[in-house]
């Protein structure tokens, strides 16, 4: 599946330079100083069948955290739990807790809409609204009652998403009339326009070509300055290239109850996980022997 062989991984370039100039990374500390999410004993079931179980994890603020693992390991389910998008699935139930900046996300008086306002999301397939580029970006601010200075908000968000120069002359054109990579950056701009605290990305490049993918990855590294980012990817090179820390999940089939269910195997600084994984399942997955 991947070009790497065993042991060390010459195929995976860990810290490649962004295409357009250096963005020096700050040192990633061993210990997580401040966590944006504290996940404890968390599990999700769909209609009684567990999808993920027993996951405990502290996702650091101001970093990029990647969730990787074979398909069916529940990494998307975990991601969608972080902004309560799973609520939209009627049969989904959860156990355990997720604290977002110290607040229980699932507390009775928490408003999911309020949660999603602070925790933005970018989806696997670019999904701009069937509206103009401008209206796409202005959607969130308008939703929350903003009507003045929208031009500035839209421009700032599009600039931040490295899309402004490409679309500034066609802001009134429909959001689906641009290329797939541009659409995905539009979706990122749409999320940024909300001034969120965290951005969740669910395999944001899986529908894009390699060049568009590189652009999004560059963009992620730039956004890291301002936002905490959690990204789900099935592309390990991508995880290695962009993330500061990586969580590896797998499908656990030897669970006591005999059901297939996603579990966390290992959570480490990306560099360490990809060079000296402590669990052999991680090792097997990232070297392409499994998955």
Partner 1 sequence: MTSAPPGRASALQATGAGRYADPLFKWAAITAGVSVLAVLGLMIGSTTADAWPVFQYQGFVDFFVNDEWRAGFSRTDFTGEYGAFSFIFGTLVVALIAIVLALPLALAVSLYITRLAPRRMKGPLAYTVELLAAVPSVVYGLWGLLYFVPTFLRPVMELLSAALAPVPLLGTFFAGPVYSTNYLAAGTVLAIMILPIITAISREVIAQVPPEQVQAAYGLGATDWEVMRKIILRRSFPGVVGATMLGLGRALGETIAVAMLIGGSQRWGLSLFFGGDAMAAHIANTFQDAAPETVQALIAIGVGLFIITVIVNVLARLLVWRIGRVAGDAAL
Partner 2 sequence: MSSLPVTTLAPPRPASEVSSSLRAADPHSRRRRRRSRVMRTVLLAGMIAAMIPLALILIEVGRRGANAFGWSFLTQTEPPFRREGGGYLQGLVGTFYMVTFATAMSVPLGIMAAVYLVEYGRGWLARVIRFFTDVMTGVPSVFVGLFVYALLIRDIGFGTFVGALALSVIMLPIVVRSSEEMLKLVPEDQRAASAALGARRWQTIVKVVLPTARPGLVTGAMLAVARAAGETAPLLLTALGALSVVTAVQGTPQSALTLLIYDGATQPFAPGQQRAWAGALLLLGIVFVFTAVARFVSSRSTVRPD
Alpha carbon distance 55, 264 (integer Å): 6
CA 216 to chain centroid: 12
Report the partner that residue 197 touches, choosing among partner 2, partner 1, none (CB closer than 5 to 8 A by kind).
Answer: partner 1
Q: Which element (helix H / strand E) includes 137?
A: helix 133-143
Quick check: 286 and 236 in contact, CB under 8 A? yes
Q: Which element (helix H / strand E) includes 73?
A: none
**Using CB under 8 A, which of the segments 68-76, 173-181, 221-229, 272-280 binds partner 1?**
221-229
| Cβ proximity to partner 2, 194 vs 232, nearer residue | 194
Q: CB-based contacts of 179: which residues, under 8 Å, 6+ apart?
A: 212
Contacting partner 1 (CB under 8 A), which of 12, 115, 193, 199?
115
| Cβ proximity to partner 2, 58 vs 116, nearer residue | 116
DSSP-assigned beta bridge partners for residue 249: 264
State yes or no: residue 65 binds partner 1 (CB under 8 A): no
Q: How far is the CB of 87 from partner 1 (least distance, A)?
A: 13
State yes or no: residue 103 binds partner 1 (CB under 8 A): yes
Nearest CA to 88 out of 107, 52, 111, 112 is that of: 112
Q: Quick count: other Cβ atoms within 10 Å of Cβ 210?
A: 8
State yes or no: residue 152 binds partner 1 (CB under 8 A): no
**Using CB under 8 A, which of the segments 206-214, 222-230, 233-241, 249-257 binds partner 1?**
222-230
**Using CB under 8 A, which of the segments 40-48, 113-121, 122-130, 182-190 binds partner 1?**
113-121
Binding site for partner 2 (CB under 8 A): 83, 85, 88, 90, 113-117, 120-121, 123, 125, 127-131, 139-140, 143-144, 174, 176, 187, 190-191, 194
Strand order in the sheet with 245-252: 103-104, 92-100, 35-46, 49-60, 261-269, 245-252, 64-68, 228-232, 198-202, 119-122
How many residues in the shown chain lie near partner 1 by CB under 8 A?
23
Pairing verdict, β 228-232 and 64-68? parallel
State yes or no: residue 40 binds partner 1 (CB under 8 A): no
State yes or no: residue 10 binds partner 1 (CB under 8 A): no
Contacting residues toward partner 1, per CB under 8 A = 34, 36, 61-62, 100-103, 105, 107, 109-111, 113-115, 118, 195, 197, 225-228
């Amino acid at each position: 599946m991947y070009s790497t062989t065993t042991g060390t991984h010459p195929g995976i370039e860990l810290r490649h330079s962004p295409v357009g100039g250096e963005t020096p990374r700050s040192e990633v500390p061993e210990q997580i100083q401040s966590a944006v999410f504290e996940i404890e004993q968390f599990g999700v079931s769909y209609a009684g069948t567990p999808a993920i179980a027993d996951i405990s994890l502290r996702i650091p603020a101001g970093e990029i955290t990647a969730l990787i693992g074979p398909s069916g390991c529940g990494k998307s389910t975990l991601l969608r739990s972080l902004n309560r998008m799973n609520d939209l699935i009627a049969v989904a139930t959860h156990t355990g807790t997720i604290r977002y900046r110290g607040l229980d996300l699932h507390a009775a008086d928490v408003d999911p809409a309020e949660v999603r306002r602070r925790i933005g999301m970018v989806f696997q397939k670019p999904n701009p609204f069937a509206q103009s580029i401008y209206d796409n970006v202005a959607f969130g601010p308008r939703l929350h009652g903003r009507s003045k200075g929208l031009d500035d908000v839209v421009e700032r968000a599009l600039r931040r998403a490295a899309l402004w120069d490409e679309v500034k002359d066609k802001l009134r054109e429909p959001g689906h009339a641009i290329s797939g990579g541009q659409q995905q950056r539009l979706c990122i701009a749409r999320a940024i326009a909300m001034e969120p605290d965290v951005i969740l990305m669910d395999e944001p490049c899986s529908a894009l070509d390699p060049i568009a993918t590189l652009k999004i990855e560059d963009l992620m590294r730039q956004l890291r300055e301002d936002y905490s980012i959690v990204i789900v990817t099935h592309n390990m090179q991508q995880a290695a290239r962009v993330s500061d820390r990586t969580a590896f999940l797998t499908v656990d089939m030897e669970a006591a109850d005999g059901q297939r269910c996603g579990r966390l195997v290992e959570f480490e600084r990306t560099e360490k996980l990809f060079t000296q994984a402590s669990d052999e399942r991680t090792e097997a997955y990232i070297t392409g022997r499994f998955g």
